[in-house]
């Protein structure tokens, strides 16, 4: 057992956040923490990290925290903090396990961090820049790189997929699955949780429950619990109703009064079953039909070019009625520009766009919900739908997870996630026949995303949406528009099919079966005839050579630095008559106007630089001989 909390409670500012929770980390557990915003997920991480402590329990002295000796803990905060003047290389190299710059361990460390650094979209030249030159998202990525290189026994990541594109997230998934120690994840990215975790802890109402398996397994178990609890709850309610009826009927009849009193005691002693969670109980059962049907083809795009100053992509695409088109791709590739063009927010650069007839379009982006409206929630919703009664408005808002106390809140006082959820609820309730959505799940917690997924899945109109939420994409999209830096490709099937196709393509490439012509096929067959060990050595360059080559690069950099230092000292030394011996200078220092103290300093500096350069050249030669030996040994083996 690496770590354990037994019946512990945590309060912040006098408010109980976690109430008598039990939690444990075993070996290489990959743990996901889920729950609504404000449930206490980050509080739990801060407790494990030692930033918070358990409340003192006067009644239970056996509760507490146990941790294995010498356990190291690392945490990625949503907002990392660095000293502004530090360079990126200083931050990252502080994670090195060794100080010897020329050791094999240091070589392995630098090889790994260069790979990770470039994987997260940075250039090697960025290493020398001060951290304050980077955006908040880039600083978070640098903090993540630093933490991964530290390799703590318990690695805790709070929303690590923020600011990462899909290729980076996939790499991180693989890295964390293979991580040899424990990992704790707090994330709204359910696909990410699915790929990495083998244990899920749910925080709800201050309590925690453990579920074995990944996120999908957790949702299945949770749904089974909900159905079972609902069945038991309904059965108990029927029994309570029956007992109440018997009591009311016979309590005043002499012959049956004792029986009625017995039933009343039975009813009072009964352990009441609470109704299941509200957000689990609301799932759209019927379809959501647009008020207008619209034409069969919603959009017909012919050589449509999008962009502002320069064209980004050209589209030849038809979008049909009822289609659910998911748009994916890296940031800056033109996804939002395309959606704004289709929505009529910006004009196309060239080409033609033929919208269908009788369209009722609703457009949503990250700025749609940024309102400072003074109007109260229930009042604003009633104003938007005047034909609805107040009771009906309350019910609809409750379906979107707004509680009774939320109804009187001003729109401007809602959180970012609540504003997004409310805006999307109004859009759906409007029942347009085309929904264009740009990142609809941003700022939303998992319960909110599930509610919207449930609603969008029952929506029979046309849905075109941009998202980085792969779980949301997998649940809804029946086709994809895939962007890269210079192109956009239409894929007519679901995201699950797309991933499967990618795996097959990767498998084909690994097996070398891209048969372009007979010559390539013959080459492939000849390669397959070579034993696997020999094939793996086809690069002609051994790992030892890579190591000694790295050593040579380090020494060359050191030689360059010494040369620069020597040149500066030599220029300064030209002020003194170095061809005279020291005695003569001492004898005539007044005549020659030589500062003897300065002379001695320069003389020693120059000699030290010469010795340092000589020592470095000797090391370079020894390293070169090791490189040659490794080269010869490797090719002798072959």
What pLDDT is stored for residue 337 in this prediction? Answer: 92
DSSP label at 162? Answer: T
Residue 57 in this model has a pLDDT that exceeds 70: yes
- Kindly report the CA angle at 342 between 485 and 162, in degrees rounded to 5? 50
Does residue 372 share a domain with residue 325?
Answer: yes
CA distance 327 to 481: 5
Q: Is residue 417 part of a domain?
A: yes
Does residue 486 share a domain with residue 566?
Answer: no
In DSSP terms, 373 is beta-bridged to none
Residue 119's nearest CA partner among 155, 48, 168, 68 is 168
Give the pLDDT mean for 564-591: 55
Lowest-confidence range among 160-164, 270-274, 447-451, 514-518?
A: 514-518
DSSP label at 274? Answer: P
Does residue 320 share a domain with residue 247?
Answer: no
CA distance 569 to 329: 55
Q: Is residue 391 part of a domain?
A: yes
Last residue in a domain, options 219, 249, 269:
219
Handedness of CA 200, 202, 208, 211 (dihedral sign): negative
**The two three-digit tokens of residue 490, written as one number:** 């239409």
Residue 127's nearest CA partner among 85, 98, 91 is 91
What pLDDT is stored for residue 542 in this prediction? Answer: 61
Give the pLDDT mean for 390-418: 89
Long-range contacts of 138-144 (CB under 8 A, 24+ apart): 138/163, 139/80, 139/82, 140/76, 140/78, 140/79, 140/80, 142/80, 142/82, 142/88, 142/91, 142/92, 143/76, 143/77, 143/80, 143/82, 144/76, 144/120
CA distance 76 to 145: 10
Q: Is residue 287 part of a domain?
A: no
Handedness of CA 63, 67, 72, 78 (dihedral sign): negative
**The two three-digit tokens of residue 194, written as one number:** 């699915």
Q: Which of the pair, 377 or 548, is modelled with greater confidence?
A: 377
Lowest-confidence range among 7-16, 263-272, 482-491, 524-533?
A: 524-533
Residue 45 in this model has a pLDDT that exceeds 90: yes
Residue 237 in this model has a pLDDT that exceeds 90: yes
Give the pLDDT mean for 213-234: 90
Identify the domain containing residue 109 by its residue range: 3-219
What pLDDT is stored for residue 638 in this prediction? Answer: 58
Long-range contacts of 92-96 (CB under 8 A, 24+ apart): 92/117, 92/127, 92/142, 92/145, 92/146, 92/149, 94/146, 95/146, 95/147, 95/149, 95/150, 96/149
Q: What average pLDDT is seen over the chain?
A: 83
CA distance 5 to 44: 10
What pLDDT is stored for residue 363 in this prediction? Answer: 94
What pLDDT is stored for residue 587 in this prediction? Answer: 47
User: What does each C-alpha distance from 541 to 123, 524, 547, 628, 636 come to in angstroms?
Assistant: 25, 22, 11, 12, 13
Last residue in a domain, options 189, 219, 249:
219
Does residue 257 share a domain with residue 200?
Answer: no
Residue 464's nearest CA partner among 481, 483, 445, 482 is 481
- CB-based contact 341:353 (threshold 8 Å): yes
- Kindly report the CA angle at 47 between 46 and 48, in degrees rounded to 5? 90
Model confidence at 634, pLDDT cuts 50, 70, 90, reads low
Model confidence at 190, pLDDT cuts 50, 70, 90, reads very high
Q: For residue 44, which phi and psi values (nearest 5 degrees)?
A: -60, -45
Q: Which stretch, 41-55, 358-372, 618-632, has highest mean pLDDT?
A: 41-55
Residue 535 in this model has a pLDDT that exceeds 50: no
Handedness of CA 408, 409, 412, 415 (dihedral sign): negative
Residue 165's nearest CA partner among 484, 494, 509 is 484
CA distance 77 to 408: 33
User: What does each C-alpha distance from 23 to 47, 293, 430 come to in angstroms?
Assistant: 11, 52, 44
Q: Is residue 168 part of a domain?
A: yes
Q: Which residues contact 377 (CB under 8 A, 6 or more apart)?
A: 397, 402, 406, 407, 408, 409, 410, 411, 414, 422
What pLDDT is stored for residue 80 in this prediction? Answer: 73
Q: Which residues contact 540 (CB under 8 A, 6 or more apart)?
A: 635
C-alpha distance across the termini of the chain, in Å: 47
Tell me the per-residue pLDDT of 311-369, one tens digit each, with 9 for 90 and over.
788 899 999 999 999 999 887 888 999 999 999 999 998 999 999 999 999 999 877 77
Last residue in a domain, options 492, 507, 530:
492
Model confidence at 1, pLDDT cuts 50, 70, 90, reads confident
Does residue 339 share a domain with residue 413?
Answer: yes
Does residue 203 share a domain with residue 93?
Answer: yes
Q: Is residue 533 part of a domain?
A: no
What pLDDT is stored for residue 280 in this prediction? Answer: 52
Residue 573 in this model has a pLDDT that exceeds 90: no
Does residue 402 share a domain with residue 322?
Answer: yes
Does residue 257 share a domain with residue 308?
Answer: no
Model confidence at 278, pLDDT cuts 50, 70, 90, reads low
Q: Residue 546 CB: number of other CB atoms within 10 A? A: 14
Count the helices and strands in the chain (H runs, E runs): 22, 18
Q: Is residue 535 part of a domain?
A: no
Q: For residue 199, which phi and psi values (nearest 5 degrees)?
A: -145, 140
Does residue 246 share a domain with residue 146?
Answer: no
Handedness of CA 388, 392, 393, 397 (dihedral sign): negative
Q: Which residues contact 94 (CB under 8 A, 6 or more apart)?
A: 146
Q: Is residue 505 part of a domain?
A: no
Lowest-confidence range among 63-77, 86-100, 406-420, 569-583?
A: 569-583
Q: Which residues contact 226 (CB under 8 A, 6 or more apart)?
A: 276, 277, 280, 281
Q: Is residue 68 part of a domain?
A: yes
| pTM greater than 0.75 (yes/no) | no
Residue 43 in this model has a pLDDT that exceeds 60: yes
Does residue 206 share a domain with residue 234?
Answer: no
Does residue 17 share a domain with residue 152?
Answer: yes
Tell me the per-residue pLDDT of 281-319, one tens digit each, with 9 for 90 and over.
455 557 889 999 888 999 999 999 898 877 788 899 999
Q: What is the CATH number of the domain that holds 73?
A: 3.40.50.300
Tell me the per-residue pLDDT of 125-149, one tens digit each, with 9 for 90 and over.
899 999 988 888 889 899 999 999 9
Q: Which of the pair, 31 or 626, is modelled with greater confidence?
A: 31
- State the total domains in the chain: 4
DSSP label at 85? Answer: T
- CB-based contact 394:406 (threshold 8 Å): no
Share of residues in the chain with pLDDT > 90 (%): 42
What pLDDT is stored for residue 44 in this prediction? Answer: 95
Does residue 318 share a domain with residue 269?
Answer: no
Residue 576 in this model has a pLDDT that exceeds 90: no
């Amino acid at each position: 057992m690496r770590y354990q909390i037994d019946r512990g409670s945590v309060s912040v500012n006098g408010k109980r956040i976690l109430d008598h929770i039990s939690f444990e980390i075993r070996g290489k557990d990959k743990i996901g923490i889920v729950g609504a915003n404000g449930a206490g997920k980050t509080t739990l991480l801060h407790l494990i990290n030692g930033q918070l402590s358990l409340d003192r329990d006067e009644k239970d002295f056996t509760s507490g925290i146990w941790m294995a000796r010498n356990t190291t803990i690392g945490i990625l905060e949503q907002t990392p903090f660095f000293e502004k003047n530090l360079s990126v290389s200083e931050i990252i190299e502080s994670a090195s396990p060794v100080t010897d710059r020329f050791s094999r361990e240091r070589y392995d460390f630098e090889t790994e961090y260069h790979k990770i650094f470039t994987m997260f979209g940075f250039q090697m030249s960025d290493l020398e820049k001060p951290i304050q030159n980077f955006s908040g998202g880039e600083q978070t990525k640098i903090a993540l790189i630093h933490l991964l290189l530290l390799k703590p026994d318990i690695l805790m990541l709070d929303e690590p997929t923020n600011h990462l594109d899909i290729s980076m997230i996939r790499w991180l998934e693989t890295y964390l699955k293979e991580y040899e120690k424990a990992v704790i994840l707090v994330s709204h990215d359910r696909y990410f949780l699915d790929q990495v975790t083998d244990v899920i802890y749910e925080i709800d109402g201050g309590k925690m429950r453990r579920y074995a398996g990944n996120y999908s397994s957790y949702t299945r178990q949770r749904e089974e619990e909900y159905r079972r609890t609902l069945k038991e709850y309904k059965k108990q309610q029927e029994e309570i109703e029956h007992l109440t009826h018997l009591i009311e009927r016979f309590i005043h009849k002499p012959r049956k009064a004792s029986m009625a009193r017995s039933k009343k005691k039975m009813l009072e002693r009964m352990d009441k079953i609470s109704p299941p969670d509200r957000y689990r109980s609301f799932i759209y059962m019927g379809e959501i039909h647009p008020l207008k049907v619209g034409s069969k083809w919603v959009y017909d795009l012919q050589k449509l070019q999008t962009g502002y100053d320069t064209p980004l992509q050209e589209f030849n695409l038809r979008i049909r009625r009822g289609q659910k088109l998911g748009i994916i791709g890296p940031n800056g590739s033109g996804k939002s520009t395309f959606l704004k063009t289709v929505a009529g927010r910006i004009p196309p650069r060239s080409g033609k766009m033929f919208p269908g007839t009788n369209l009722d379009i609703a457009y949503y982006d990250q700025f749609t919900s940024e309102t400072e409206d003074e109007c109260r929630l229930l009042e604003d919703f009633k104003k938007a739908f005047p034909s609805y009664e107040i009771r009906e408005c309350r019910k609809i808002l409750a379906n979107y997870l707004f509680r009774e106390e939320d109804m009187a809140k001003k729109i401007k006082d809602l959180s970012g996630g609540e504003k997004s959820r409310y805006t999307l609820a109004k859009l759906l309730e409007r029942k347009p026949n085309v929904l264009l959505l740009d990142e609809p799940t941003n700022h939303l917690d998992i319960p909110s995303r599930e509610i919207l997924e449930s609603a969008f899945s029952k929506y029979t109109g046309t849905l075109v949406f941009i998202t980085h939420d792969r779980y949301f994409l997998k649940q809804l999209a029946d086709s994809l528009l895939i962007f890269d830096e210079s192109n956009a490709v239409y894929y007519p099937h679901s995201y699950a099919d797309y991933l499967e196709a990618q795996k097959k393509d990767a498998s084909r490439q690994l097996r070398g079966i891209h048969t372009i012509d007979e010559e390539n096929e013959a080459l492939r067959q000849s390669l397959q005839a070579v034993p696997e060990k020999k094939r793996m050595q086809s690069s002609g360059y051994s790992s030892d050579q890579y190591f000694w080559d790295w050593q040579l690069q380090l020494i060359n950099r050191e030689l360059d630095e010494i040369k620069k230092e020597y040149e500066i000292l030599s220029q300064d030394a030209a002020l003194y008559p170095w061809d005279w011996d020291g005695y003569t200078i001492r004898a005539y220092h007044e005549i020659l106007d030589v500062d003897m103290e300065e002379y001695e300093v320069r003389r020693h500096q120059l000699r030290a630089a010469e010795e340092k350069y000589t020592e470095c050249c000797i090391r370079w030669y020894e390293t070169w001989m090791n490189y040659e030996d490794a080269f010869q040994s490797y090719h002798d083996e072959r």
